[in-house]
Amino acid sequence: MASAWLKSAVFYEIYPNSFMDSNGDGYGDFKGITSKLEYIKSLGCNAIWLNPHYDSPFKDGGYDVRDYFKVSSRFGSEEDFDDFIKSAHAKGIKVILDLVPGHTSEENPDFIKSASSVPNDMYDRYIWTNDPWSSPEGFKIINGRYDRKGSYLVNFFSTQPALNYGFNRVDHPEWQSSCKSEAALKTREWLKSVMRFWLDRGADGFRVDMADSLVKNDGEQSEKPATSEIWRDIRSMLDNEYPDAVIVSEWSNPQAIRAGFHADFMLNHHGNPHNLLVRYEENGENRSYFDPDGKGDAAAFAKGFTEWHDAIKNDGYLGLISCNHDTHRLAPHFGQDQLKIIYATIFTLPGVPFLYYGDEIGMKYMKDIPSVECGFNRTGSRTPMQWNMTANAGFSSAEKTFLPTETDKVVNVASQEKDKKSLLNCMKSLFAFRREHKEFVSTEMEFLHAKGAEPLVYKRGGLTVVVNPLKVKQTAPVKLAPKTKAIFSIGKEAKAVKDGIAVPPLSFTVFE
Ligand code: GLC
Ligand code: CA
């Protein structure tokens, strides 16, 4: 099957600014990443998702692309990029890039051209109203910045004008074009040209930013028929021309798979299964299943997860995240021993693991640092990778790095490589174990016990996973079949007893 590699992929997400600085300017770069490929491989990751690497004024961390056909000089030269891709492939590591299809930077020459007072061939590439004085309701609109007679729609920040993929429901024909209009189709063709450009250059696919945002007035997130039609068209282009390429959506809804994505992230949205498992908050307090105060609810998690899983089962994969560049890291809220069982649980659910750089050593969300490049509260999750105990945690030789680095005796790669019991070494053995058992890359999944903060017990084919999130021992009311034996554990091993399974505090056990 085309793109079959995705099934056994384990991704490592890299925020290029923050991974490794090779030339001492305080920013991470391609050469830095290339120098750490062996490390990524040693973790058991065989794929990378690289956050935006394009030429950008960085008014939203690179999600504001000025030139889609050029790398950011901040990260090195075009050759450095090609060398990174080539070196990754030589080590058996796939690389997917970040595709930003919905909006460009306000500094993109196409946008600047579209903002001219004189009509030209870019007039329909973005979404402009025909009146500079009005701000139509229901849209994010900017006016009074350019001489074109109109105001324009933005998708996210005011620096990110929305590209024109048209409207599904046209309410104002004076300025809204249909998603079937020539202008809308041209934008789609332009997007395909961007994708072909990077696939021809060796990329193995894309993580697609705000994938559900293309067509306006397109209904609920779980429907979006016109946006879905665009992606199905793009998927068939890929199937024909680049059968090994994959697209992974930032959509977070089963509709993404129906729209043709190979995989879709289960992001941290309030009340969804990921959130209920580790990040659910009520009145500012963590009330998720893994919180050790025991107020979380495994049943709500299992119900939501099962529904989602059943909705996509054999048509695509869930992207399972430890965190990402938009989400608060789990540390320091959770300590290293908790993180071990949290990651083990997330990454043994059916789906494709996406480990966010630094999570493997328990890097902390850095509180109270000033926002940089409009990271705002996301900035604390984007700080430089902590390699060792030298200056700037080994990330850079610069006097000042673009975000503060933390030097921590425990939270760095060098120390954890030496410590057999470290989180880092636990992640390595988890991924190695996962790799050896095809049950984990199957779609087979059944919850045997999910209730309150009691041990969570689920089956993956012939394997049974038992997790205790609490710091006290518990018993799971599940009878294991005779001759079942534990084949992997974190913390003390769970054991079959008369009335079920005795599950030690903070433990994760897999039975066969
Ligand atoms: C996505 C990205 C986020 C960015 C936004 C706008 O949510 O993950 O970092 O700010 O889209 O492009
Ligand atoms: Ca650099």
* DSSP secondary structure code for residue 391 in this structure: G
Q: Which CATH number do you get for residue 198? A: 3.20.20.80
Neighbours of 350 (CB within 10 A): 20
Half-sphere exposure of 284 (CA within 13 A, CB side): 0
What is the rounded average pLDDT for all residues in the chain? 97
In a shared domain, residues 321 and 336 = yes
CA distance 358 to 327: 13
In a shared domain, residues 333 and 249 = yes
pLDDT of residue 313: 84
Of 439, 469, 503, which residue sits at a domain end? 439
In a shared domain, residues 134 and 227 = no
Distance 410 CA to ligand 2 centre (A): 25
Q: Is residue 120 part of a domain?
A: yes
Atom of ligand 1 nearest to the CA of 378: 9
In a shared domain, residues 378 and 497 = no
> pLDDT band at residue 454, thresholds of 50, 70 and 90?
very high
Q: Which two tokens stand for residue 287?
A: 């009330």
> pLDDT band at residue 2, thresholds of 50, 70 and 90?
low
Q: Which CATH number do you get for residue 463? A: 2.60.40.1180
What does the pLDDT look like over 498-508, one tens digit per residue? 999 999 999 99
Please count the structural domains in the chain.
3
In a shared domain, residues 328 and 200 = yes
Distance 209 CA to ligand 1 centre (A): 6
> pLDDT band at residue 257, thresholds of 50, 70 and 90?
very high
> pLDDT band at residue 426, thresholds of 50, 70 and 90?
very high
Q: Which CATH number do you get for residue 136? A: 3.90.400.10
In a shared domain, residues 87 and 213 = yes
Q: Is residue 450 part of a domain?
A: yes
Distance 25 CA to ligand 2 centre (A): 5
Distance 369 CA to ligand 2 centre (A): 21
In a shared domain, residues 92 and 119 = no
Q: Which two tokens stand for residue 6?
A: 């995705």
Question: Tokens 């894309």 label which residue?
Answer: 206
pLDDT of residue 134: 87
- In order, the DSSP letters of 141-201 are EE-SSSSSSS-EEBSSSTT-BBB---BSS-S-TTTPPBTTSHHHHHHHHHHHHHHHHHHHT
Q: Is residue 168 part of a domain?
A: no
Distance 48 CA to ligand 2 centre (A): 19
- In order, the DSSP letters of 29-59 are -HHHHHHTHHHHHHHT--EEEEPP-EE---S
In a shared domain, residues 427 and 477 = no
Q: Is residue 172 part of a domain?
A: no
Ligand 1: residue of 49, 56, 63 to mutate (most ligand atoms within 8 A of CB) is: 63
Whether 1 shows a pLDDT value over 70: the answer reads no
Of 439, 459, 487, which residue sits at a domain end? 439
Distance 51 CA to ligand 1 centre (A): 10
Atom of ligand 1 nearest to the CA of 157: 6
In a shared domain, residues 336 and 472 = no
Whether 3 shows a pLDDT value over 90: the answer reads no
- The mean per-residue pLDDT over the stretch 315-319 comes to 97
- Taking CA atoms only, the protein residue closest to ligand 1 atom 4 is 63
Q: Output the furthest CA–CA distance in the chain (Å, rounded).
A: 82
- Selection from 141, 113, 136 nearest residue 125 by Cα: 113
Distance 60 CA to ligand 1 centre (A): 8
CA distance 409 to 361: 11
Ligand 1: residue of 18, 210, 356 to mutate (most ligand atoms within 8 A of CB) is: 210
- Taking CA atoms only, the protein residue closest to ligand 1 atom 2 is 209
Neighbours of 99 (CB within 10 A): 25
In a shared domain, residues 432 and 473 = no
Residues with CB under 6 A from ligand 1: 60-61, 63, 100, 156, 209-210, 250, 325-326
What does the pLDDT look like over 194-205, one tens digit per residue? 999 999 999 999
What does the pLDDT look like over 42-94, one tens digit per residue? 999 999 999 999 999 999 999 999 999 999 999 999 999 999 999 999 999 99
CA distance 467 to 482: 20
Calculate the alpha carbon distances from 432 to 10, 45, 57, 285 in Å.
11, 10, 40, 35
Answer positive or negative: Cα dihedral of 395, 377, 16, 319: positive
One-letter amino acid of 15: Y
Which one of the ligands is nearest to 51 CA? Answer: 1
Whether 254 shows a pLDDT value over 70: the answer reads yes
Which one of the ligands is nearest to 207 CA? Answer: 1
One-letter amino acid of 89: H
What does the pLDDT look like over 399-420, one tens digit per residue? 999 999 999 999 999 999 999 9
Distance 35 CA to ligand 2 centre (A): 12
- In order, the DSSP letters of 221-253 are TTT-HHHHHHHHHHHHHHHHH-TT-EEEES--S
Q: Which domain holds residue 493?
A: 444-511
What does the pLDDT look like over 167-219, one tens digit per residue? 999 999 999 999 999 999 999 999 999 999 999 999 999 999 999 999 999 99
Of 414, 439, 464, which residue sits at a domain end? 439
What does the pLDDT look like over 88-136, one tens digit per residue? 999 999 999 999 999 999 999 999 999 999 999 999 999 999 999 988 9
Which one of the ligands is nearest to 401 CA? Answer: 2
CB distance 264 to 206 below 8 Å: no
Q: Is residue 177 part of a domain?
A: no
- For 365-381, letters b (16+ CB in 10 Å) and e give bbeeeeebbbbeebbbb
What does the pLDDT look like over 382-403, one tens digit per residue? 999 999 999 999 999 999 999 9
pLDDT of residue 253: 98
Ligand 1: residue of 100, 153, 156, 207 to mutate (most ligand atoms within 8 A of CB) is: 156
In a shared domain, residues 476 and 389 = no
Q: Is residue 174 part of a domain?
A: no
- The mean per-residue pLDDT over the stretch 140-152 comes to 97
Q: Is residue 126 part of a domain?
A: yes
In a shared domain, residues 188 and 79 = yes
Half-sphere exposure of 472 (CA within 13 A, CB side): 7
Atom of ligand 1 nearest to the CA of 155: 6
Atom of ligand 1 nearest to the CA of 100: 12
- Taking CA atoms only, the protein residue closest to ligand 1 atom 9 is 326
Atom of ligand 1 nearest to the CA of 325: 9
Atom of ligand 1 nearest to the CA of 102: 12
Distance 324 CA to ligand 1 centre (A): 11
Distance 155 CA to ligand 1 centre (A): 10
Which one of the ligands is nearest to 250 CA? Answer: 1
Q: Is residue 343 part of a domain?
A: yes
